[in-house]
Amino acid sequence: MNVVIDKRPIWVILLSRSLRPLFFVVVAIIFWYLVSIPTPDGLGLEGQRTIALFVVCLILWVSGVLPLAITSLLAIVMVPLLGVLDKKAAYALFGNEAVFFILGAFILSGAVMHSGLAGRTAVVIMSRFGETPKRLIASIFFLAAVLSFFMSEHAVAAMFFPIVLEIAKGLNLKPGKSVYAKSLFLALAWGCIIGGVATFLGGARVPLAVGMLKEATGINIGFFEYTAAAFPTVLIMLLIGYFMLTKFLPSDVEDIHKIKAVFERKIKELGKIGYAEYAVGVLMAVTIFLWLFLGRTIGIANIAIASVVVLFVFKLVRWKDIEEYVNWGIILMYGGAITLGAAMEKSGAAAWIANTVISEWARSPLIIIAILSLLTILLTEGMSNAAVIAILLPVGIGIAGKFNLDPRIITYTIAIPAGLAFCFPMSTPANAIAVSSGYVTARDMAKAGVLMMISAWVLFNITVFIYWPLIGIKI
């Protein structure tokens, strides 16, 4: 039984409890106000209602008063109720390719973890590269990043967490005090965050953005195409991250040989590689190969789901083993975000916002990119990166039309920075996992994270101006 007794004076508790219903009343009033004011010129009634719904969802997403998934469900319900889309169309949007890719990614990650393959890979590689404190930091940081190229960054963070925790305990580091422990857990979080931006596979936000783009414009972005645009940012951010971890958080540990015993024990516990591990390894290798080379023609969601089917055909996992790895909340959230995004687009609301509001300060494509990426990177610190995409992408696509910008550029401008959330535990699960260790505090994370955030924004824009034209992305 885990209970906490709120010992504040009763009137304070009552006041704080009444804030929640009051908050919903205020949100309802805002919604009512936005739908009842005269419809502005150039905006239809559906568009006005969609904007009202969008504002409500934005408030709910940012405030976190409701779980993200529930706000998304509210969006799905409200879109047909407000007459923006009919019921069938609204619910059909939930069947988006991105949603199924996320489902597939969760199941595949679950299989990799359940089989023991993930743990063995991590343990073996770290035991080889963890000779000195710096090398150990480097091995966690780069390994987390590289694995996040190919699988969900959340899954990588979850997979590495027990191992890093064991390292910290093995080295007898003091929670909240040891600088080296902070480095270890920030290395894990940052590795996952930066690596997760590199490909379609690091998280669900890129497929979401690509899905939304396709839904809105019919334009598709391929696996390599995206990676080519994102990779320099990832590579340089990894170098900056490593520099920060080793220079700004200098190690207060000299000898890490004790850790060898921890790894040796882990490897012993794992035993020899079994059939399931081999089979899952081969299946993952094939899946990654297909994602890399046939993703555009077959579709990454198709590949993921087909691999999932193969997993079960060969009885490599059981459904009950996998269930705990499938985060249905995230899946629901993505479904709702896609529906709302489509409603913004189809009702003309996104275009209207682009034309009348953002165009006020949008003077040139470069300024649009700088401001959109800044807005994205700031918003993603406080809310789900997928929600940021759902909110900004329809508006961005609208602006793209006005300035004759390729919508793919806007997609990159939002999808890449949306993954770079370094400052807060609520920004992304990798940060939350790191803070949950007790070795790194939210304040430590914010202090180091602000520098990383600024670096990421500056670097991204330099990449846009210098590197993108070199690979044929013309602004």
Partner 1 sequence: MNKYKTLHNPAYLKIDLMLNGIKADNETIQRLGLDLRYGYTGVTGGLDILLPHNTWVNASFLEEFAKSSKYELVLRDKKTFIKAGDESVKVDIMPKPEFYKLSTATGIPLSKIGAMHGGYVAITPDTRCEFFNMNIECRYCAGNFNSGGSGRVYTVEEVLETVDAANKEGKAEIVYLSIGFSETPDGGIEFLKPYIKAIKKHFNTLVAVEALPPKENHFIDETYAVGADSVLYNMEIFDERLFKEICPGRDRLIGRERYIDALKYAAKVFPNGTVATHLIVGLEPAESTIKGIDFFTGIRVVPILPIYRPSVGANLLNYKVPSLDDVLPVYRDLYHAVKKNKININWVRDISVITTPIEARFFAKTKFNKTLMERFYKTKLGVKTAWGLSTLRRKLRVREGGEG
Binding site for partner 1 (CB under 8 A): 1-7, 10, 13-14, 17
Evaluated on CA atoms 431, 437, 443, 444, the torsion sign reads: negative
- Residue (8 or 260) nearer to partner 1, CB: 8
Kindly report the CA angle at 340 between 104 and 428, in degrees rounded to 5?
55
Instruction: Please enumerate in sequence order all residues whose Cβ is within 8 A of that of 1, keeping only pairs 6 or more positions apart, or say none.
Output: none
Could you tell me if 193 and 430 are in contact, meaning their C-beta atoms sit under 8 angstroms apart? yes
Report d(CA 257, CA 394) in Å as an integer.
Answer: 53
**Least distance between partner 1 and beta carbon 51 (Å):** 36
Separation in Å, CA 70 to CA 40, 73, 236, 345, 455 = 30, 5, 37, 22, 34
- Residue (18 or 39) nearer to partner 1, CB: 18
**Least distance between partner 1 and beta carbon 10 (Å):** 7
- Residue (7 or 320) nearer to partner 1, CB: 7
Instruction: Please enumerate in sequence order all residues whose Cβ is within 8 A of that of 271, keeping only pairs 6 or more positions apart, or say none.
Output: none
Could you tell me if 156 and 192 are in contact, meaning their C-beta atoms sit under 8 angstroms apart? yes
**Least distance between partner 1 and beta carbon 4 (Å):** 3
- Residue (65 or 146) nearer to partner 1, CB: 65
Task: Name residue 316's amino acid.
Answer: L
- Residue (354 or 435) nearer to partner 1, CB: 435
Kindly report the CA angle at 207 between 59 and 427, in degrees rounded to 5?
40
- Residue (13 or 37) nearer to partner 1, CB: 13
* Closest C-alpha among 136, 124, 146 to residue 168: 136
- Residue (161 or 352) nearer to partner 1, CB: 161
What's the first-to-final CA gap in the chain, in angstroms?
58
**Least distance between partner 1 and beta carbon 16 (Å):** 10
**DSSP label of 469:** G
**Least distance between partner 1 and beta carbon 300 (Å):** 36
- Residue (10 or 470) nearer to partner 1, CB: 10
User: Exposure string (b/e) for 366-388, b if CB count within 10 Å is 16 or more?
Assistant: eebbbbbbebbbebbbbbbbbbb
* Closest C-alpha among 337, 341, 380 to residue 84: 341
